[in-house]
Amino acid sequence: MANKSLFASLVGKMLPKAEAANKHGAPAYEFTPRHALAQLAVTGTLNHTFYASATAQLDETLKAVCEVESAFIAKAAIYARQRGHMKDMPALLLAYLSMLQTGDFAKAFPRVVDNGKMLRNFVQVMRSGAVGRKSLGTRPKKLVQAWLETASDIEIMRASVGNAPSLADVIKMVHPKPADKAREALYAWLIGRPYEVMALPAIARSFEAFKQDPSLPVPAVPFQMLTALPLTRDHWAAIADKAGWQMLRMNLATFARHGVFEVEGFAENLAGRLADREAIKRARVFPYQLLMAYAQAGQDIPPVVREALHDAMEIAVANVPAIEGRVVVCPDVSGSMSSPVTGYRPGATTQVRCIDVAGLVAASVLRANPSARVIPFEQSVVRVDLEPRDTVMTNARKLASIGGGGTNCSAPLEKLANERAKVDLVIFVSDNQSWVDARRGGEATQMMKQWERVKTSNPDAKLVCLDIQPYTTTQAQERADVLNIGGFSDAVFDTIAAFTKGEMGAEHWVGEIEKIEL
């Protein structure tokens, strides 16, 4: 009979050596420059995280862009914005592109700057000096001008909400050419210069009229422009009727505070809009946003609205793949996962933690695959009892309520290997900073060693490592049976589905980004 310990030792020596180090200083595999840039693009918010400062994120991003061609930078920016629903990182990549003498900047600009908020983000990054200059320059200025000149009146009004820079600052900076008297008056109104009242677009005139006479109909302007006015309950109800999906989701407590749910039929109407499939798709909803909306919905929120959030969650994760075979999902519940998923931001830190996202992904996979096995882990595996028929919201909150301790990414795989469990797909959701299982340098990571043990009983099994933080190393090196993917939007489910079906080729996730046409 073969010597098992000798065989295990030989397998370990044949695996690739972990010659890099993660943020905890433990052995890890370094991503390629393309993969590192992609990871940063879909998880980086340029805020302080558990292991890295905002400055470190910026430095790593600028290092990565210097090592890839401009076309890939443009594709990564487009992917991060359109699929990852990110804001700051796509703007940073676009700003860097503006410094290169290629046509990729102009190709990517309209696909990244798709609303006024992104326009101001881009200008803010350019003026910050992060990419080496503090002025826009000729090419960026022309594209910003073009956005302003082609945007609708309501898009301009929406873009006027916010500062640093304000839209007025941007207008003064680039001097857009008004196409008619209405746009000329609108620009003057926004920057505080004299204008002809009757020349203003109808939406701006209605706003000015409402400020003078609140008995008039509430104008369809961004609600932030109205909140400084003395609004009644009926005003708030009218604001909600005109609001977009995200505004409704974010202001449930505001509506309750102003007594809007007491208006007959309001709660039922709002619930219907929250659970509208097409509205959810248009709003680019992060599933975790629904989780937090539900967690923050107190007893003053009507039950019909709370139930609508459950329904909206089921819709938001509807593209989680139903996978043939045996599925195991392993959410990381260690101490570092208690940090905000988008980092610490002075005065505006999100309440959503990495562990909330990990729990949500695990609960979503379980919902689509009722026979799936969930193995949470920290320094060792953690037992939790979940009911597949419970809603995603319920199971996600149950998973997020456990945790603490060190990180040991190999623990679930070691458990599966020891059990000789039969598996087809294993999904990890983590910040990838394993250190409890660290061994001396020059060897493979313990995660790779334990995965190789799992593969001895399951030669066709696949491993997916979903990393939700902006770090550039992994515990499982990319190969035909291993997918490393980053992000916390629902786009990751599409990628996992393609990988399990064998529809992704070399470089897996990076290859998907490469497919984007410029």
For residue 395, give the CATH number of its domain: 3.40.50.410
Burial group, residue 506, by CB count within 10 angstroms (0-12, 13-18, 19+): exposed
DSSP E strand boundaries for 447-489: 462-467, 473-474, 482-486
Which residues lie closer than 8 Å to 202 by C-beta, 6 or more apart?
153
Residue 309 · residue 394 · CB < 8 Å: no
Residue type, 190: L
pLDDT score, position 1: 43
The strand pair at 20-21 and 27-30 is best described as: antiparallel
Is 357 among the domain residues? yes
pLDDT score, position 192: 93
Is 44 among the domain residues? no
Residue type, 259: G
Tokens 């035909």 belong to which residue? 480
Q: What is the pTM of this model?
A: 0.89
Is 340 among the domain residues? yes
Tokens 């929120």 belong to which residue? 301
Please provide the DSSP assignment of 235-299 as one string: HHHHHHHH--HHHHHHTHHHHHHTTGGGSTTHHHHHHHHHT-HHHHHHTT--HHHHHHHHHH--T
Q: Please, what sign has the CA dihedral across residues 247, 250, 252, 255?
A: negative
What would the two tokens of residue 98 be? 């503006």
pLDDT score, position 321: 80
Q: Residue count of the chain, please give it.
A: 518
- Number of structural domains, the chain? 1
pLDDT score, position 505: 67
Residue 401 · residue 436 · CB < 8 Å: no
Question: Domain limits at 356?
Answer: 20-29+316-514
Alpha helices in 401-516 (DSSP H): 411-419, 446-457, 491-500, 508-514
Which residues lie closer than 8 Å to 55 by C-beta, 6 or more apart?
none
Is 448 among the domain residues? yes
Is 335 among the domain residues? yes
Is 224 among the domain residues? no
Is 166 among the domain residues? no
Burial group, residue 423, by CB count within 10 angstroms (0-12, 13-18, 19+): buried
Is 64 among the domain residues? no
pLDDT score, position 412: 97
Residue 434 · residue 445 · CB < 8 Å: yes
> Residue 66 is inside which H or E element, if any?
none
Could you state, in chain order, the average pLDDT of each consecutive group of 10 residues for the chain (518 residues)? 50 79 92 95 88 88 95 97 92 96 96 96 94 90 96 94 93 95 96 94 94 91 87 92 89 92 94 93 81 83 93 84 91 92 73 87 90 95 89 86 90 97 96 90 89 96 95 94 90 88 82 92
